[in-house]
Chain A
């Protein structure tokens, strides 16, 4: 069956350091991979997405890398700030078929001042 998982449930970094959050997926048919950030008491917030025909995409302070060979996705956050503390989810979406998002379990990022 399809599944999207995460390697680590928690990640703690120092303010100013770079953070790397990893994700493994199993559905080769997924067209889009998306990262969401969820702060306490809030719904998930879209961060960045990457299409399956790309291997890298950059946003503001964030970079997503996609390695289809090993079915691995990562989110890199540069100069991590206390406001980045949240749970991060990767999700996959199949553009051609079901439009549902399949989420991973999430990684809790804690930024220490």
Chain B
């Protein structure tokens, strides 16, 4: 069974631009969560989707948004990029909402210049 796939692996964007990151969960997993990882703040929860519905949202500005499609694939979008948005963005999938074990992808390394 393939793991969680995130694309692209690396991305360089300019301040003010917007970016879309993609996550394909493990087959059969319907819950997808996104996290931002930085050296200073560590791993921080962005949002979680289940059956195309956002169930939880972390403390991030409205520039951060996401969605989930009927095949459980998810995208997150960051608009009006700031230098501080440079981070590793991780996606995790769970088989069922409420399941404890989350499986993480390798992440997308976003650099904003």
Contact = CB atoms under 8 A, between A and B. Distances in A.
B101 A100 contact: no
A70 to B, nearest CB: 22
Contact of A104 (B33, B42, B90, B101): B42
Nearest to B59: A1
B7 to A, nearest CB: 14
Interface residues of A, number: 23
State which size class the interface on B falls in: 20 to 34
Nearest to B47: A100
A105 B56 contact: no
A44 B104 contact: yes
Given A43-B105, A44-B43, A93 B100 contact: yes
Contacts, number: 55
Interface of A: 32, 34, 36, 41-46, 49, 89, 91, 93, 95, 98-106
Nearest to B91: A43
Q: Which residue of B43, B92, B102 has the most chain A CB atoms within 10 A of its CB atom? A: B43
Interface of B: 4, 31, 33, 35, 42-45, 48, 55-56, 58, 90, 92, 97-98, 100-107
A53 B102 CA distance: 21
